[in-house]
Amino acid sequence: MAGSDFICKNLPNVLSSFVDTFVDFSVSGLFLPPLPPSPAIETPATNPPATLSINTSLSSDPEFRTRYPCPDRLIAIGDLHGDLQKFNQALRLAGLINASDQWSGGSATVVQVGDVLDRGGDEIKILYFLEKLKRQAANSGGSIITMNGNHEIMNVDGDFRYVTQDGINEFSNWAFWYSVGNAMKNLCDGLVNLTKDPFEGIPSEFRGVRKEFHDGIKARIAALRPNGPISSRFLSKNQTVVVMGENVFVHGGLLPSHVSYGLERINDEVRDWINGSREKISTKIGRGRDSVVWSRKYSSESAMDCDCSALELVLASIPGARRMIMGHTIQESGINGVCGNKAIRIDVGMSRGCINGLPEVLEIDKNSDLRVLTSNTLYREKNEAFLRTGRKDGLGLLLPEHIPKQVDVQA
């Protein structure tokens, strides 16, 4: 009888969990694995004190750290812009997923430098896929760190200038299934803290927008605005600046004023804004050509236009930093470095919504050596002098410093 009472009392929560799984699968085609356990709290074996001792080498929420030690294998991936197929190809180049799209990267760490959103139609699918891989990687001793680009900031702020029709359709599909899920939950009297209507306060029509897009725009606002279901679930887990060993990751570029503002402060303010607990973020972070996610100081088409002196000042002010790794500006000739390889540019425009570039990723080993993993035969032939023999034949390249021809996408 007691067991029966327990089941009855917990039935609403079981139903809610089932509905969430049903909606996730309907939207993404994926069943997300269980969340990995939180790091344990260490206590001495004998004579424990009145207060517990926390293992400071672990974070109770490692996603929200700004500084990490460098792992044995580190993979950096540039802008994705709504192209799941190209993202899968990039992951396979590095041996991070198998033929069934399951994590196979072992203890590797991956940093994706932002701009998942806009210019393509697989934006939500990529967010779900990243979440799946994060959980699988954590269970294998690896990790995936996702970052905010200027397009994440724009979308949370309601700036949809670079949305495609396929992107609108994907969010309309999400809104349909999300609403179905809410309706199913409302059928159960025992549920508490029901999800509020995500469309509350959003107009039904938008001046200057064709009528057939109104529902899709409304869905996108609902999903991505501060504390929206998609922004709070996925984007709030992003970092805006990451320091990993000798490597500083950022979407656009860090200037001396950003370091003075505070790297942890930047991450905290953006996360609080996305979660809806902060009204706005500083223009230093998300708006203007010299902001963290918009700067092109180190990624312009000519090395002469890269501000190497500012870069050296920034790196000198971050303990242990040797190089900055960034996306944001398409490098048509492939991943490359300038300023004595202190600025590494990894956006190759792989999305079909950009220049449909061949996927490439940057690999950094435990000795801080750099390699470009690429399937671009022209890039390999052009830089064959940099080939490293005996490792991943046909894929591994030492990073050359050159001045590539670029396509400068304005947002």
**What's the CATH code of the domain at 272?**
3.60.21.10
Q: What are 313-323's pLDDT values in tens digits?
A: 999 999 999 99
> Is 214 one of the catalytic residues?
no
pLDDT for position 372: 94
Residue 354, domain member (yes or no): yes
Judge whether residue 404 has pLDDT over 50.
no
Our CA dihedral for 209, 211, 217, 218, rounded to 10 degrees, sits at 120
**Is 24 part of a structural domain of the chain?**
no
For position 301, what pLDDT does the model report?
Answer: 67
Within a domain: 6: no
- Is it the case that residue 297 has pLDDT exceeding 80? yes
Give the residue with greater pLDDT, 221 vs 205. 221
Position 32 in a domain: no
What does the pLDDT average to over 231-250? 97
243 DSSP β-pair partners: 67, 248
Residue 361 lies in a domain: yes
Residue 388 lies in a domain: yes
Residue range of the domain that includes 120: 66-163+229-407
Catalytic residue among 151, 251, 258, 328: 151
How far is it, in rounded angstroms, from Cα 198 to Cα 251? 29
pLDDT at 13: 75
Residue 123: which of 84, 174, 85 has the closest Cα?
84
Q: Which residue has the tokens 């680009």?
A: 149
Residue 201 lies in a domain: no
Cβ–Cβ under 8 Å, residues 93 and 373: yes
**Angstrom distance (rounded) from CA 390 to CA 408:** 35
Q: Say if 374 falls within a structural domain.
A: yes
Give how many domains the chain has, as a whole number.
1
d(C-alpha 281, C-alpha 223), whole Å: 19
Confidence of residue 87 (pLDDT cuts 50, 70, 90): very high
How sure is the predictor about 411, in pLDDT bands with cuts at 50, 70 and 90? very low
Which has more pLDDT, 207 or 113?
113
